[in-house]
């Protein structure tokens, strides 16, 4: 669940939302036809849509009498069902006095309804039946979606629809979930993207709702209203009743049922949503009124080299057929000769440009264009702005180019027709958002983002809006001659607003390119001519390749076909090399990868635009090159990459540029969030060989060009080549590619003894370890923990299967107990994990609470979960097992993912391609007792025989020496205050807690209560009163610090043995076996 800002939605991620656990006796996956609800009539709006050629689904758009429009999607072979509902309200609709109300409402709808009052009923049902769910709040939309095993659509949808019929808004849920919203806000406090977004908003016109804070905090949604004797529960109900109206809702329902059956189900259930007639007034005004010609500087967290230009432009929602922004983006961001980007790079102004746009205000016929420049030198921001207008003025002068638009039309239609839609929930979420656009005709609902026509007038209007009198700028930077005069109140970031001088703006109007610079238009040589589809069409994704060719240097694996019947294919090549897993020198491969990416940049750009994706990266076993795309171009592109490798020679100039880039990457990767740091450190701890980014940065710093050249030669002459080709690539082309690869490299044969897969550290039985780190950002409020228990080995098929099922059972309880009930933090995850051949269970948690507190709560969870596991009925257990089995049938979201599932077996040389039947048999043979016994032996906290635990603790520097507000021991504090002759009851302490935002404000409120209500001190002498307040504050603070340190010492003793030296720990540990398998596939001729 997330609040998303529409302007930079691509920069953010949506994370899963969890609730308190308690599994229930679920109804069978059949519906109860009896209902007292009114069933509204149905109007069929559209059945003929422009849809993709690889889309196997059928569609129908209907409208109910209560105004809800529903897109029905039937795909009979699907093993999943999914639903999305978009409500046309968002954070701009927040009441002035309750910032974050829309976001808060989104959280609370998941927490119980009148028909299903148990707080975790919906999420228990969805997660038990193989699904997941999420939601996000944007400026004018709140979007909800879920996915579930196909047989259970009706019951899940019935629960889901109740969100919009009669949510409970229970007092206890409202109180706890305000902490979740606050935790989400605090997670964003050290995010550069969120900081810039909030500074951007606060510098909008103050009369416009866009200028308001919108995430919500504990203060805005809980303690603040309490102080004013306002009941937030009543306010949230008012908000829901006013804004959650049926005519503002759009829905999409996807399932294996027929369209008629989906219509009957949707009509029956969505008719329960009341037909409200409340009208919400449209927004008026413009957020940039009075702000054009201005710019603002702000203090960035790090880097801060992005220059942003904002332009109000003509409304783009109505221009979905011509899409002039696609034209602008193409000609201003293409790479290569005579491009704007090349000009900016040659001038050392910017390394890349991004164009985003947003139309977020209903009733306001304006969109916003955001041009983002990654500056090479911060001091050149004005020169960069001038260069931008030089390019814009040039393209204005020569006018729109129809050939460019025609090329875009060809590319976009081709990609729409042959590239799969991806994740179904994401697809439905996107569709319901699109349905809110009143301009799009129904037939184009599935294809809103492809250009349909050339319109010169629309393009000219867009370019006319890109003028020096119609923009403002911003930069995360503090010039020497500028002082910050303001501070953003929620993020605490200093900033200053200034105005461009008239001389500078006038200069921009007449800005012209130098005489020797000529810009051009993109011409994409990689646009496919769409070859014939000659491959086999599979009803199920392929899993078994053939070993098509083998020599001393290369193995060619081949699949001539795909689930996706398209003129596309994949090529995956591994340059297997032993140097890549020798960590003292493996960083040198990063030089090679960066160089290959750099010199193939233009090819990568054009190929990506033409629907052909190129990836070059490294792994434990070497350098990997991946391509997915149209088969008449993929061979050409792959040949170009091989030519680049053959002729590559890293010059001194290139070397030092790559060195600086690599240094920056390694050093910046050390400055990460606490939750990322515990993940990274866990990998370093558990894997045999893994190095700290700072160590790698040191090695890079001391690398010289001659040393790298020698390494490159050694790397390319000590290889074994693994090649996988899938899709619509004919056998003769596959063989041609393999010979092309083989002749590129003159390499010695690598011995079989050098093919060794990675190994992991194993933990001794009945042992507990932990490691401690400080947060990389001294101002980050959050700490984090990675809690890991080793369970079994991959070779133990039954135990490993039991662990997978156990992880599925624990999925919802981990979220609901640790996140929703205990509110330990917003980011919480529990999951099955594998390190080499060792499998285990992990819980990852980011929180304002210190790690020793988090570890104690996780221990308590593992102790209490045994009762839940014992109480699980056989029917509930079967649901979990069947859900795991059903997940094995999941359809890959793309041809690349389809190939990736095969590639994993080739990469690790295990070749057990067809294990599906054996795996299913193992799952079916499991009994509940198998899972309970495994839990008791390996995860149960009181287990004294086989438990193997290791945790990573990252501690925040902020308030690390005193209790978090939620951990204050009221009973002990009350006893202390009584002995100090300032008695305060536990009940009163809890009342003070409810109006406090943190420990500091709690102590302040407590001292105020003691001063006024206990001591009855109404002295008029302010100096005396202030001195007494300070004395009492220090006493209570000192007591809580002392008590906290005592508790911390005790809990850390229970945490286990502290690992002070990781190298020594690894040296004393036993290594796991490595993945290994004999060659199971016989060579087959063509």
DSSP of 583-601: TTTTHHHHHHHHHHHHHTH
Q: Which domains, from first to last, does the chain contain?
A: 43-271 (3.30.830.10), 294-510 (3.30.830.10), 546-665+703-752 (3.30.830.10), 770-955 (3.30.830.10), 982-1085 (no CATH)
The CB density around residue 651, as the number of other CB atoms within 10 Å, is 10
Query: To the nearest whole percent, how much of the chain has pLDDT over 70?
Result: 93
Q: How far apart are CA 552 and CA 548, in angstroms?
A: 14
Closest CA to 846 of 907, 905, 777: 777
CA atoms lying within 13 Å on the CB side of residue 966: 18
pLDDT in tens, 626-681: 999 999 999 999 999 998 888 878 888 889 989 988 998 888 888 899 999 999 99
Q: 631-647 and 731-744 are packed helices; what angle lies between their axes, rounded to 10 degrees?
A: 10
* Banded pLDDT at 493 (limits 50, 70, 90): very high
> Is residue 177 scored above 50 in pLDDT?
yes
Provide the pLDDT for residue 486.
96
> Is residue 695 scored above 70 in pLDDT?
yes
Task: Give Cβ neighbours of residue 349 (< 8 Å, ≥ 6 apart).
Answer: 373, 375, 376, 377, 380, 383, 384, 387
Strands (DSSP E) found in 641-732: 720-727
Coil, strand or helix: which one is 222?
Answer: helix
- When the pLDDT of each residue in the chain is averaged and rounded to a whole number, the result is 90
> Is residue 928 scored above 60 in pLDDT?
yes
Provide the pLDDT for residue 907.
93
pLDDT in tens, 1013-1056: 887 765 556 667 788 889 999 999 999 999 999 999 999 999 99
Closest CA to 1065 of 693, 681, 757: 681
Average pLDDT of the segment spanning 560-571: 96
pLDDT in tens, 506-553: 999 999 999 999 999 999 999 999 889 999 889 889 999 999 999 989
Closest CA to 907 of 564, 541, 695, 619: 619
> Is residue 785 scored above 80 in pLDDT?
yes
Query: To the nearest whole percent, how much of the chain has pLDDT over 90?
Result: 73
* Banded pLDDT at 378 (limits 50, 70, 90): confident
Provide the pLDDT for residue 692.
83
pLDDT in tens, 804-849: 999 999 999 999 999 999 999 999 999 999 999 999 999 999 999 9
> Is residue 1082 scored above 70 in pLDDT?
no
> Is residue 1083 scored above 70 in pLDDT?
no
Coil, strand or helix: which one is 487?
Answer: strand
Q: Are strands 554-559 and 494-499 parallel, antiparallel or unpaired?
A: unpaired
Tokens standing for residue 386: 């001038």
- In terms of pTM, does the model score above 0.85? yes
pLDDT in tens, 9-57: 333 322 233 333 333 343 444 344 334 457 788 999 999 999 999 999 9
Closest CA to 986 of 971, 1007, 969, 976: 971
Closest CA to 389 of 397, 378, 401: 397
DSSP of 405-450: HHHHHHHHHHHHHHS----HHHHHHHHHHHHT-TTS-GGGTT-TTS
Tell which wins on pLDDT, 982 or 35.
982
Four-residue CA torsion sign, 993, 994, 995, 999: positive
pLDDT in tens, 239-249: 999 999 999 99
Q: Are strands 142-149 and 132-137 parallel, antiparallel or unpaired?
A: antiparallel
Average pLDDT of the segment spanning 449-476: 95
Closest CA to 401 of 316, 463, 317: 463
Q: 693-701 and 652-668 are packed helices; what angle lies between their axes, rounded to 10 degrees?
A: 160
Query: H helices within 297-375, ranges in order?
Result: 324-333, 340-346
Provide the pLDDT for residue 360.
56
Provide the pLDDT for residue 284.
76
> Is residue 101 scored above 90 in pLDDT?
yes
> Is residue 117 scored above 90 in pLDDT?
yes
């Amino acid at each position: 669940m997330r609040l998303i800002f529409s302007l930079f939605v691509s920069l953010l991620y949506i994370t899963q939302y969890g609730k308190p656990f308690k599994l229930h006796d679920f109804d069978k996956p059949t519906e109860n036809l009896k209902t007292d609800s009114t069933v509204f009539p149905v109007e069929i709006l559209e059945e003929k849509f422009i849809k993709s050629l690889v889309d196997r689904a059928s569609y129908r758009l209907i409208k109910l009498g209560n105004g809800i429009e529903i897109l029905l999607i039937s795909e009979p072979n699907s093993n999943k069902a999914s639903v999305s509902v978009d409500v046309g309200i968002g954070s701009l609709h927040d009441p002035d006095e309750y910032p974050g109300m829309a976001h808060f409402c989104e959280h609370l709808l998941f927490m119980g309804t009148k028909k299903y009052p148990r707080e975790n009923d919906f999420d228990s049902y969805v997660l038990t039946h193989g699904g997941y769910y999420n939601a996000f709040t944007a400026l004018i939309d709140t979007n909800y979606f879920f996915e579930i095993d196909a047989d259970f659509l009706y019951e899940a949808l019935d629960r889901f629809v109740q969100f919009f019929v009669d949510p409970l808004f229970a007092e206890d849920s409202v109180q706890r979930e305000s902490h979740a919203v606050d935790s989400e806000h605090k997670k964003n406090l050290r995010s550069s993207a969120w900081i810039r977004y909030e500074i951007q908003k606060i510098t909008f016109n103050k009369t416009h709702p866009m200028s308001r804070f919108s995430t919500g905090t504990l203060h805005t949604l809980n303690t603040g209203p309490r102080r004013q004797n306002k009941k937030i529960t009543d306010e949230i109900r008012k908000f829901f009743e006013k804004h959650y109206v049926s005519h503002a809702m759009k829905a999409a329902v996807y399932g294996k049922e027929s369209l008629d059956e989906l219509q009957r189900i949707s009509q029956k259930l969505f008719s329960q949503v009341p037909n409200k007639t409340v009208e919400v007034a449209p927004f008026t005004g413009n957020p940039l009124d009075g702000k054009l010609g201005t710019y603002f500087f702000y203090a960035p967290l790090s880097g801060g080299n992005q220059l942003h230009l904002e332009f109000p432009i003509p409304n783009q929602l109505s221009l979905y057929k011509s899409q002039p922004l696609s034209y602008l983006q193409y000609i201003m961001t293409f790479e290569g000769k005579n491009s704007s980007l090349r000009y900016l790079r040659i001038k050392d102004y910017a390394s890349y440009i991004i164009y985003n746009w947003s139309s977020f205000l209903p009733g306001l016929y304006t969109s916003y264009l955001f041009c983002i420049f990654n500056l090479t030198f911060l001091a050149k921001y004005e020169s960069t702005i001038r260069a931008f207008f030089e390019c814009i003025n040039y393209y204005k002068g020569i006018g729109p180019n129809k050939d460019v638009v025609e090329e875009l039309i060809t590319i976009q239609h081709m990609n729409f027709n042959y590239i799969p839609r991806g994740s179904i929930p994401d697809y439905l979420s996107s569709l319901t958002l699109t349905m809110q656009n009143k301009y799009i005709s129904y037939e184009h609902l599935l294809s809103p983002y492809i250009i349909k026509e050339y319109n010169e007038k629309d393009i000219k209007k867009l370019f006319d809006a890109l003028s020096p009198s119609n923009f403002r700028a911003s930069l995360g930077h503090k010039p020497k001659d500028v002082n910050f005069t303001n501070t953003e109140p929620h993020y605490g970031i200093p900033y200053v607003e200034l105005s461009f001088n008239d001389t500078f703006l006038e200069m921009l109007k007449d800005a012209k390119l130098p005489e020797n610079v000529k810009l051009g238009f993109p011409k994409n040589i990689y646009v496919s001519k769409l070859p014939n589809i000659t491959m086999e069409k599979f009803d199920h994704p392929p899993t078994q390749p053939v070993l098509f060719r083998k020599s001393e240097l290369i193995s060619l694996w081949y699949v001539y076909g795909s689930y996706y019947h398209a003129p596309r294919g994949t090529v995956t090549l591994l340059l297997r090399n032993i140097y890549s897993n020798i960590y003292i020198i493996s960083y040198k491969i990063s030089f090679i990868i960066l160089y290959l990416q750099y010199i193939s940049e233009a090819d990568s750009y054009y190929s990506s635009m033409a629907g052909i994706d190129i990836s070059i990266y490294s792994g434990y076993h070497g350098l990997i090159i991946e391509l997915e795309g149209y088969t008449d171009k993929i061979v050409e592109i792959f040949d170009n990459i091989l030519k680049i490798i053959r002729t590559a020679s890293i010059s001194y100039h290139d070397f030092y540029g790559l060195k600086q880039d690599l240094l920056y990457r390694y050093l910046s990767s050390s400055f990460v969030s606490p939750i990322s740091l515990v993940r990274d450190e866990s990998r370093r701890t558990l894997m045999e060989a893994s190095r700290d980014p700072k160590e790698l940065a040191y090695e890079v710093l001391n690398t010289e060009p001659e040393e790298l050249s020698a390494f490159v030669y050694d790397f390319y002459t000590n290889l074994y080549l693994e090649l996988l080709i899938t899709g619509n690539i004919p056998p003769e082309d596959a063989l041609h590619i393999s010979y092309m690869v083989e002749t590129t490299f003159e390499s010695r044969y690598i011995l079989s003894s050098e093919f060794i897969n990675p190994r992991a550290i194993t933990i001794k039985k009945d042992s507990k370890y932990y490691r401690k780190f400080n947060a990389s950002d001294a101002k980050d409020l959050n700490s984090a923990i990675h809690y890991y228990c080793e369970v079994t080995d991959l070779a133990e098929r039954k135990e490993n299967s039991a662990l997978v099922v156990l992880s599925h059972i624990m999925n919802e309880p981990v979220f609901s107990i640790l996140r929703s009930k205990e509110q330990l933090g917003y980011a919480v995850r529990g999951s099955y994990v594998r390190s080499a051949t060792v499998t285990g269970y992990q819980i990852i948690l980011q929180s304002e609470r210190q790690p020793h507190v988090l570890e104690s709560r996780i221990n308590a969870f593992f102790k209490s979960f045994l009762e839940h596991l014992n109480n699980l009925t056989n029917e509930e257990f079967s649901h979990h097992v069947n859900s795991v089995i059903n997940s094995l049938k999941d359809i890959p979201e793309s041809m690349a993912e389809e190939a990736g599932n095969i590639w994993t077996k080739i990469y690790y040389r295990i070749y057990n391609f067809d294990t599906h039947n054996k795996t299913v048999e193992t799952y079916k043979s499991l009994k509940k007792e198998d899972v309970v016994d495994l839990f008791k032996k390996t995860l149960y906290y009181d287990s004294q025989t086989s438990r193997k635990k290791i945790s990573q603790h990252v501690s925040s520097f902020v308030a690390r020496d005193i209790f978090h507000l939620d951990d204050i021991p009221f009973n002990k504090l009350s006893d202390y205050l009584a002995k100090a002759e300032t008695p305060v009851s536990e009940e009163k302490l809890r009342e003070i807690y409810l109006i406090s935002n943190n420990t500091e404000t709690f102590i302040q409120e407590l001292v105020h209560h003691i001063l006024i209500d206990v001591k009855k001190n109404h002295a008029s002498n302010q100096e005396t009163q202030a001195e007494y307040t300070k004395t009492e504050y220090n006493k209570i603070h000192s007591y809580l610090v002392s008590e906290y340190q005592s508790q911390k010492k005790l809990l850390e003793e229970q945490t286990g043995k502290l690992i002070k030296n990781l190298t020594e720990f690894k040296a004393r540990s036993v290594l796991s076996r490595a993945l290994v398998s004999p060659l199971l596939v016989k060579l087959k001729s063509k």
